[in-house]
Chains A and B, each alone.
Chain A
Amino acid sequence: MVPTTFYVLLSAALFTIGVLGVLIRRNAIVVFMSVELMLNAANLALVAYARERLAVDGQVLVFFVITVAAAEVAVGLALLVAIFKSKRTADIDEVSMLRG
């Protein structure tokens, strides 16, 4: 039986890679993917603890996370396409009209 801590460590690693993806990559799509990765990492940890606590609630939570992620991806990509139409690029740094 693999102890839960390993799963949580894996989830932490994946989460960190997701964060790095958001911070470093300049292509909007890859940023979205990294966000998805972070969500998955969270799901993994949830399921791991669900098994440890023998409470199915964790898995229900993951279920909801997935649905929300789906909605989020839909809207995000729609936005991305809209921006691409007007700015001809997917680079986030170009999109900096809203400045202080």
Chain B
Amino acid sequence: MLNWLIWLIPLLPLLGFLLNVFVIRQERQAGLVASALVGGSFLLAVVATVMLGGMPEEERRVQTIAWEWIGTGTLSIPFGLLFDPLTSVMVLLVTGVGGLIHVYSIGYMHGDPRVVRYFAYLNLFVTMMLMLVMANNMLLLFLGWEGVGLCSFLLIGFWFERKVASAAAVKAFVVNRIGDAAFILAMLAIFSHFGTLTFYDVEVDGQIIPGFLAQVPNLLGQTFGPEWQTIAVATGISFLLLIGATGKSAQFPLFVWLPDAMAGPTPVSALIHAATMVTAGVYMMARTEPIFVASPATQSWVAWIGVLTALIAGTAALAQWDIKRVLAYSTVSQLGFMVAACGMGAYAAAIFHLLTHGIFKALLFLGSGSVIHGTHDTQDMRKMGGLRTAMPTTYWTYLVGAGALAGIVPLSGFWSKDEILAHAVSAGYWPQLIGLFIASLLTAFYMGRQVSLIFFGTQRDPHYHAHESGQAMTVPLVILAVGAAIAGLMNLPTLFSGMPAAHLLTDWLKPVLHEEAGKFNPLLALFATLGAVGMGYLGWSVYTRNAAKVKVGGQDPAYYYTGDIWDTLEAAWYVDTLYQRAVVGPFRSIGNFLAQVFDPQGIDGLVVGTGRFFGWVATGVRQLQSGYVRMYALVFTVGVVLVLSFMLMIAW
């Protein structure tokens, strides 16, 4: 029964996409149909998860193959879905948060001329994300992987009249594509070494299609590359997968596209750039965990990239004025936490943080959306201030979200972040621990700053009259706020012996990730809470005390202390400008050189040149017919002499 049920989960949003593209023209219907279908697939997901739960622990994996997607030579890749605990958790997140965001969009996007197309794209996105999460082989995962990349291109560039939006859309797609190139290379290597791309063995009408995850151990000895520098195959594959993940989950080298992606509508940022798409990289790493575990070299790379990203993004978020860019950098930073957790082997903690982050970050984005909506599309925090009286529900839900993100005790953020830090302590990753701890302090500070800038002090820009958003927007906010508060219960560490519902998620994921729950570290928890509350209060107080200093379009009060460093932070350590100057500029000039000079003159010159050469030789020969009879006689005689001497030579 579960076999055909899981097919319905991605098909419903696909149906929504097709309806919106070909059938529905009217805005009202589009919104309702889209949200209803995603809601429907959420219910199906819940039912499927319950049924999965019912099955005994060790065979909690359902795989169905629809048809053979690519079948040529030794290459045989099925088009099939997989449903196991890890997938179920992700599907619940995607469809749950996605559904709420669809409802929220009905309110937010009301009155936009192309809203029907918007919902079509959103549904297509959910379908692709579900395909990504439920694929039973790497290639189908890659189909979802690039599909979500395409949808983020369409949705970021939704208001394509704006130059900024279209540029950001192209940038997002291209940077993702760089990661995807590495992903393709990894897939090629996996297939050449294992002969299959499916994750686990699947039995199809009689014969078994082998899965490659189980065969990873026999990969250990093999190496490739030139003699002088042989690289272990496992390290090579996992490193390529890491590059792919950094591209999609906006990690250190390739995170430049995420802040620019804020040019898209806010619900898009919430769904794609906070909850679902960016987590695809972490999910992929969790799914292909055996390969990463098989090469410790890559694991340390993963951990350090995570920590580095967390620090860079954390510091960058301090110095942003755009409300959404703060959240964007904070997402990058939190993703850094998850990647670092994967690097340290705490995959369950990474998934736990992924889920809680998905909820409270979506809440924060939707909150910021309601703020933007309420203040007639102003995104600059310097123009806001004192909105807590005008928008109470948004204020309170935003506060809950901010608290969860900062890691204040009862809220979900604390539990998931603490789990990661606890694992760092118990596994002895001291340098990474320090980096992550500083990052969590930064998180608390900039959330405090943001809350005080938006909701406290007085309204700095008189041009708008702030008003609370409508029902369609506030209801999802409240639901998410509740979710953010209680999400921590999913994976409470064993606070006291014999605690009933301790680390539910870790046990749920055991058939996939085979991890035991780490024990609770009270000292660390104390330090973390103190840091979070302290820095949060500090951030809040700095910006409420000298709220007067903050002028519309003016400098940040902290500029007095930091000076130019503030600009560096705002530009995220100039990584983007580095790429602009070091990569895009030379690429354009090489392109122009090849197109204007090398091709038309170089290669074409050779071709046309040979033509002209024969012309030149012809004119040379024409000179010989000079009209002088004596010259002809001479040539004649020369001919005779040559022939006779040649014959003489032969006779000799």
Tell me the A residues contacting B by CB distance below 8 Å. 19, 22-23, 26, 92-93, 95-100
Contact = CB atoms under 8 A, between A and B. Distances in A.
Contacts of A99: 625-627
Given A100-B622, A100-B624, A23 B629 contact: no
24 contacts: A19-B637, A22-B633, A23-B630, A23-B633, A23-B634, A23-B637, A26-B630, A92-B629, A92-B630, A93-B628, A93-B629, A95-B629, A96-B627, A96-B628, A96-B629, A97-B627, A98-B627, A99-B625, A99-B626, A99-B627, A100-B622, A100-B623, A100-B624, A100-B627
A25 B607 CA distance: 48
A92 B628 contact: yes
Given A93-B629, A93-B630, A100-B626, 15 more contacts: A19-B637, A22-B630, A22-B633, A23-B633, A23-B634, A26-B630, A92-B629, A93-B628, A98-B627, A99-B625, A99-B626, A100-B623, A100-B624, A100-B625, A100-B627
Contacts of B628: 92-93, 96
A26 B627 CA distance: 14
The 6 A-B residue pairs with the shortest CB-CB distance, nearest first, are A100-B625, A99-B627, A96-B627, A92-B629, A100-B622, A96-B628
Contacts of A23: 630, 633-634, 637
Contacts of A96: 626-629
Interface string B627-645: 1111001100100000000
A67 to B, nearest CB: 24
A98 B629 CA distance: 10
Contacts of B630: 22-23, 26, 92-93
Contacts of B633: 22-23
Nearest to B629: A92
Nearest to B621: A100
Contacts of A26: 630
A100 B624 CA distance: 8
A97 to B, nearest CB: 7
Interface in B438-489: none
Contacts of B627: 96-100
Contacts of B634: 23
A23 B630 CA distance: 6
A23 to B, nearest CB: 6
B56 to A, nearest CB: 99
A22 B624 CA distance: 19
Interface in B589-638: 622-630, 633-634, 637
Interface in B154-211: none
A15 B423 CA distance: 113
Contacts of A95: 629
Contacts of A92: 628-630
Nearest to A99: B627
B478 to A, nearest CB: 99
Nearest to B625: A100
Contacts of A100: 622-627
Looking at B622, B624, B628, B634, the one whose CB has the most chain A CB atoms below 10 A away is: B628
Contacts of B626: 96, 99-100
A51 to B, nearest CB: 25
Contacts of A98: 627
B618 to A, nearest CB: 11
A19 B638 CA distance: 12
Contacts of B622: 100
A83 to B, nearest CB: 11
Contacts of B625: 99-100
A89 to B, nearest CB: 14
A55 to B, nearest CB: 24
A96 B627 CA distance: 4
A87 to B, nearest CB: 13
A22 B623 CA distance: 22
A98 B624 CA distance: 12
Contacts of B624: 100
A22 B630 CA distance: 8
Nearest to A97: B627
B647 to A, nearest CB: 16
A29 B62 CA distance: 112
A26 B624 CA distance: 19
Interface in B35-62: none
